[in-house]
Amino acid sequence: RLFLQVGIPAHCVYAGLLPEEKAEIIKQLQANGSKVAMVGDGINDAAALATSDVGIAIRGGMDAAEDAAGVVLMGNKLGQVVEVIQLGKVTLGKIRQNLLWALGYNCVTIPLAAGALLPSLGITVSPSTAGAMMAFSSVAVVSNSLLLKNQVLGRRPANNFEQLGRKAGTTTGVQG
């Protein structure tokens, strides 16, 4: 009855399933428009891990599960699943920030370096200044990425799957 302790309603739990039944349930959930993350540790989970949108294997299980999964947890704590999902969301946000920064910066500085202001204002940028501007852009993106470490270390993970499920929109458990 672990599913009750982590906040998954009983009607959303599928237990005692064969490997192909697990994969079929995942396909049904996906057909209904759900994004499915599957957590498994054994060879009987490999098909479901491969079928899911995100396969998460628990380290120490069978190699087949680890090979089929997109993510392998280095510990054997189920709570790490919540941390992995939160880390993924924060990382995706940081990627978006970096893309926005680089796009905006390059939209301004590339025309400037190409001499866009030369005809109207007589302003030009030397090649060495243009190179320094590109280096600054790279340093800014890398520095922003390094801030991810502070965000992740200072963040408290959701305390259970129900809380995470509310954020994602749904919570379902498939237990083997």
Q: What is the pLDDT of residues 11-59, one digit of tens each?
A: 888 888 999 999 999 999 999 999 998 888 888 899 999 999 999 988 8
Q: How confident is the model over 138-143, as a mean pLDDT?
A: 93
Residue 169 has pLDDT above 70, yes or no: no
pTM of the model: 0.67
Coarse DSSP helix, strand, coil percentages of the chain, rounded to the nearest 5 percent: 60, 10, 30
Q: How far apart are CA 173 and CA 13, in angstroms?
A: 5
Higher pLDDT, 166 or 9: 9
How large is the C-alpha radius of gyration of the chain? Answer: 23
- Residue 137 contacts residue 146 (beta carbons within 8 Å): no
Residue 60 DSSP code: T
Q: How many CB atoms lie within 10 A of CB 90?
A: 14
Give pLDDT, residue 144.
92
Give pLDDT, residue 155.
59
**Neighbouring residues of 84: CB distance < 8 A, sequence distance ≥ 6:** 56, 71, 73
Residue 2 has pLDDT above 80, yes or no: no
